[in-house]
């Protein structure tokens, strides 16, 4: 009896968390592509111990955070990748970031970030 075993040619998405069977792609245009410089400025103002709290408030999926933690070794690069993933969501905006910082009682850091971004954009002109 020659039984054929079908081997899938496409790799299956890791679904160990049960909630992210597919990598979610934004539908329609990306709402706000952020520059790498902006992402690093955000990383620089947010305390490391509050990072995941910020990502949850920005509605980055828990499974996305866990996937990034498994795939990326260095913490700063994880932060960058999480922010990059968030910035590709349709709901992503600097306003939602500032609102999240306010909820976290980090309004001062939001002001610092606005100042840093404003100073950078002014230095380009």
Closest CA to 72 of 61, 60, 85: 85
Q: How confident is the model at residue 122 (pLDDT cuts 50, 70, 90)?
A: low
pLDDT single digits (tens) 11-47: 444 444 445 544 444 444 444 567 888 899 999 999 9
pLDDT single digits (tens) 98-119: 999 999 999 888 888 888 877 7
Q: What pTM was estimated for this model as a whole?
A: 0.69
Distance CA 112, CA 67 (A): 30
Average pLDDT over the chain reads: 78
Distance CA 41, CA 35 (A): 10
Distance CA 34, CA 117 (A): 12
* Higher-scoring residue by pLDDT: 107, 68: 68
What element of type H or E holds 109? helix 107-123
Which residue is it, tokens 């990502």?
A: 55
Length of the chain measured in residues: 125
Q: How confident is the model at residue 123 (pLDDT cuts 50, 70, 90)?
A: low
């Amino acid at each position: 009896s020659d039984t054929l075993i079908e081997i899938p040619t496409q790799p299956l998405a890791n679904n160990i968390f049960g909630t992210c069977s597919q990598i979610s792609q934004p539908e329609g245009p990306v709402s706000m592509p952020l520059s790498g410089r902006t992402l690093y400025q955000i990383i620089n103002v947010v305390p490391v111990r509050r990072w995941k709290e910020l990502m949850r408030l920005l509605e980055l999926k828990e499974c996305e955070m866990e996937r990034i933690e498994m795939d990326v070794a260095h913490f700063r690069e994880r932060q960058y990748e999480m922010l990059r993933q968030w910035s590709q969501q349709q709901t992503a905006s600097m306003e939602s970031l500032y609102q999240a910082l306010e909820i976290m009682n980090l309004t001062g850091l939001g002001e610092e970030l606005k100042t840093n971004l404003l100073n950078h954009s002014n230095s380009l002109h």
